[in-house]
């Protein structure tokens, strides 16, 4: 087990735990919202839009997971993810409420 002296500066267990929570469960929610919005916005038949958005989800999930460990500040990471979630959730809600396609 690494001692406190052997860890790089600024790395703590809470820091890694917060990033892991952002990289897996929060990333899943954010990717789901993004892909649902994308499937509604793509200009093609609904079946094709769903398949295209699902294929894009793999790349989006990977990029967000890498970004969770690449950013310097955990606070900024969470603020960005929460902000993106609110925007995507709001956009999806508006799309559903206004009768956007499924």
pLDDT digits (tens, 9 = 90+) for 27-84: 999 999 999 999 999 999 999 999 999 999 999 999 999 999 999 999 999 999 999 9
Reported as half-sphere exposure (CB side, CA atoms, 13 A), residue 50 has a value of 5
Residue 1 has pLDDT above 60, yes or no: no
DSSP secondary structure code for residue 66 in this structure? H
Q: Which pTM does this prediction carry? A: 0.83
For the chain, which residues make up each domain, given as ranges? 25-97
Selection from 85, 96, 71 nearest residue 28 by Cα: 85
């Amino acid at each position: 087990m690494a001692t406190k002296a052997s860890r790089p500066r600024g790395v703590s267990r809470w820091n890694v735990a917060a990033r892991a929570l952002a990289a897996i469960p929060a990333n899943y929610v954010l990717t789901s919202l993004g892909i649902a919005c994308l499937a509604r916005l793509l200009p093609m038949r609904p079946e094709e839009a769903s398949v295209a958005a699902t294929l894009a989800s793999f790349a989006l999930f990977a990029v967000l997971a890498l970004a969770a460990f690449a950013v310097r500040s955990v606070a900024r990471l969470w603020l960005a993810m929460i902000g993106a979630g609110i925007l995507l959730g709001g956009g999806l809600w508006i799309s559903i409420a206004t009768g956007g396609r499924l």
